Structure 1
Amino acid sequence: MDKFAAFGKNISSTFNSTVSPFAQRSQQYLKEQFGGADEKTELPVDYIELEKRVDALKQVHQKLLAVTSQYSNEAYDYPPNIRESFTDLGRSISEKVTLLSHAKNTSEAQAAITAPPSAKPQPKTFNHAIARASLASSQMLQQTNTTGAEDPLASALEKYALAEEKVGEARLAQDHAIQSRFLAGWTTTLNTNIQFATKARKAVENSRLLLDSTKTAKKSQVIGRGMNPDDETALGEEARAEIEAKEDDFVSHVEEAQGVMKNVLDTPEPLRNLADLIAAQLEYHKKAYEILSELAPEVDQLQVDQESSYRKSREGA
């Protein structure tokens, strides 16, 4: 480790004004990394606190986006264990029910279920999958029913299929709203606003490295002349002017970065986007509740009627 420190202290001791700013910053950075830097200007406490808050805000955006980005994936809740055919995904539940309503016999009903696909495949969501399974099940019962009477379970399954399709469509509407009003906003904040702050902070770091490398270079020149490097009068007027110019540049970059970071932290956009996310979820659950609330009494009535018929048949027996 001592060798590394010695290496850092010996980097460019003869460095002068002809060295490019990039080279100066690089040399200063290496010396700091290897523990050989004599100069390192401290950043203001307020500035450091702003940096911590911006870093936290960045992590918050990254963490939430890592989860909510699933709203961009239509099939995020689609069961991985089921296998649906091209025919299964060909037409919507409502289209199939309409076709079935015109079927006069079992063959026509089967043709309605396997009708040629429409232009767009049906969505792969959990609710749509339930809807397709329910309608297919309803038709199995209907096709094997030879009593001539309506099968109450088949009827309930068809109603359930239509309701689940509506719930699935509401979920897709929720996802679209979240994509446009939350994901887009938080992605912009992360990739634009926070990135602006990152660039401003980088400018501060570059300015600080350049200031400290200049101080080191000028002190090295003073030492080379056998003078005390801590004696400001040992520095020539030109050297002092150059250091002061670098200090002014550093202060300017710090103030600019503080302004950018405060703006990033104070903007209401992330909270507004979060409110939009909640509103989209609320609207979806509200619609799902309304759809299922309308369905439940109908299925309950079918169940009550079937129980009544069952009891009468048992009593007659």
Structure 2
Amino acid sequence: MDKVQAFGKNFSATFTPFAARTQQYVKEQLGQAEDKTQLPPDYIELEKRVDALKKVHTTLLQVTSQYTNEAYDYPNNLRESFNDLGRTVSEKVSLLSAATSPAEAQAALTAPPAAKPQPKTFSHALARASLNGSHILSADHSGAGEDPLSTALEKFAIASEKVGEARLAQDAQIQSRFLAGWSTTLNTNLMFAQRARKAVENSRLSLDATKAKAKSGPAFSLPGQQPKTGLEDHEISEEARAQIEQAEDEFVGQTEEAVGVMKNVLDTPEPLRNLADLIAAQLEYHKKAYEILSELAPVVDQLQVEQEASYRKSREGA
């Protein structure tokens, strides 16, 4: 029985303040509350800045979360078979160079994967399509020497695969250094700030509910007089004043704590550091892509020049 009574007291102690806050909130929403304790202007400004920071994190994370999706640039209408996604382009080129017959060359292209299927990125798909095109041309080339377009496509396939690998490396860096950091700020730091602000709002509602309750009690009246329905400040009992002071102290303490939490969230350099990491990862990827294609371009250009020279020579001979 003692445990039941203790539970009842604890429940009442918890429920009563909640009920008072709820009643005060409803009154304010209906415009029936006479007085509402105002938050300091500096506090309201901090709230606006925190809300802005939260919106920025939410918006940018909605976009950059694509970096967790390997196929974010993979063509939607592309249909590649299991064999297409088998060996890497580099592995297939090595197998093709060792092939001594058309059958062996075809087997090299359709060799089962050595490990997991190849990535579904645009660059990898471009590499696979280019290598297949190179094989088709070389298989049907009956003239002497190599087909220049076939050779160029093979080299382009190898380069495209390298660009695709660089893109995957970029994505991994962004996931670990940017997405993880911004997600932590959103789901932890900003969440702490939100909880602190909620505590301020609860303490403010409790304070105003306490004030309203203290002023609504019946006042002393002489015989034959109607009791007053609302008390002036000097008519409030000492017990009620003590309750108000306690609620005010709680409100001030929660406000000061929330100010500290919000300032910490706003002042931390972590989001800017994470953004710098995002830019660095993108820069490294584009730098590698530039280097790979810069090395490939003159080789293909030379093949094109040689083919044009051969074409003109054949036209002149004719």
Same fold (TM over 0.5): yes
Mapped to 1, the partners of 2:154 and 2:204 lie a distance apart of: 71
CA displacement at 1:238 relative to structure 2: 1.1
Q: Does 1:52 align with 2:48?
A: yes
Counterpart residue number, 1:264: 265
Any conservation in 1 of the 2:219–2:231 contact (CA below 8 Å)? Answer: no
Return 5+ residue gaps in structure 1 as ranges: 1-16
CA distance in 1, matches of 2:297, 2:31: 73
Superposed displacement of residue 239, structure 1 = 0.9
- Decide which moves more: 115-124 or 92-101: 115-124
- Which residue of structure 1 aligns with residue 126 of structure 2? 130
Which residue is 1:206 aligned to?
202
Q: Which residue is 2:74 aligned to? A: 78
Q: 1:222 to 1:47 in 2, by over 3 A?
A: farther
Residues of 1 paired with 2:83 and 2:114: CA distance? Answer: 10
Cα distance, 1:224 vs. partner?
A: 8.2
SS at match of 2:70: coil
Match of 1:32 among 28, 34, 48: 28
Q: Which residue of the other structure, out of 115, 122, 128, is the alignment partner of 1:119? A: 115
Matched, 1:183 2:193: no
The equivalent position to 2:153 in structure 1, one of 146, 150, 157, is 157
- Per-residue CA deviations over 1:13-54 (Å, capped at 9, x if unaligned) read xxxx99711111111111111111122100000000000000
TM-score by length of structure 1 reads 0.92
Distance 1:282 1:308, change over 3 A: same
State the Cα distance separating 1:313 from its structure 2 match.
1.0
CA contact (8 A) 1:222 1:235 kept: no
Alignment partner, residue 313 of structure 1? 314
Kept in 2: contact 1:77–1:125 (CA 8 A): yes
Output the aligned Cα RMSD: 1.6
Q: Structure 1, residues 116-171: CA drift from partner, whole Å, max 9, x if none?
A: 12220000000001000000000000010111320000000000000000000000
Residues 308/230 of structure 1: CA separation in 2 closer, same or farther (3 Å cut) = same
Q: Give the structure 2 partner of residue 11 of structure 1.
A: none
Distance in 2 separating the partners of 1:245 and 1:265: 30
Q: Does structure 2 conserve the Cα–Cα contact (< 8 Å) formed by 1:222 and 1:234?
A: no
Q: TM-score, normalised by structure 2?
A: 0.92
Does the alignment pair 1:96 with 2:92? yes
Query: C-alpha deviations, 1:263-309, integer Å up to 9, x for none?
Result: 10000000000000000000000000000000001001111111111
- Asked whether the 8 Å contact 1:39–1:213 carries over to 2, the reply is no
Distance across 2 between alignment mates of 1:227 and 1:113: 96
Q: Does structure 2 conserve the Cα–Cα contact (< 8 Å) formed by 1:228 and 1:234?
A: no
> Which consecutive unaligned segments of at least 5 residues does structure 2 have?
1-12, 222-226
Shift of 1:231: 3.0
Please list the CA deviations of residues 229-271 of structure 1 after superposition, one character each: whole Å capped at 9, or x if unmatched: 4632211111111101100110110110011001100000000
- What letter is aligned with 1:63? T
Q: Which residue of 2 aligns with 1:14?
A: none
Count of residues in Structure 1 that have an aligned counterpart in Structure 2: 302
SS in 1 for 2:72: coil
User: Conserved in 1, the CA contact under 8 Å of 2:217 and 2:229?
Assistant: no
1:99 touches 1:112 (CA, 8 Å); kept in 2?
yes
Given that residues 24 and 213 in structure 1 are in contact (C-alpha distance below 8 angstroms), is that contact kept between their aligned partners in structure 2? yes
Cα deviation digits, residues 86-126 of structure 1 (max 9, x gap): 10001100010010010011111111001112220000000
SS at 2:271 equivalent: helix
Secondary structure at the residue paired with 1:78? coil
Aligned partners of 2:263 and 2:35: how far apart in 1?
Answer: 28
Matched, 1:254 2:262: no
Query: Cα distance, 1:311 vs. partner?
Result: 1.1
Q: Which amino acid in structure 2 is aligned with residue 72 of structure 1?
A: T
Helix, strand or coil at the partner of 1:20: helix
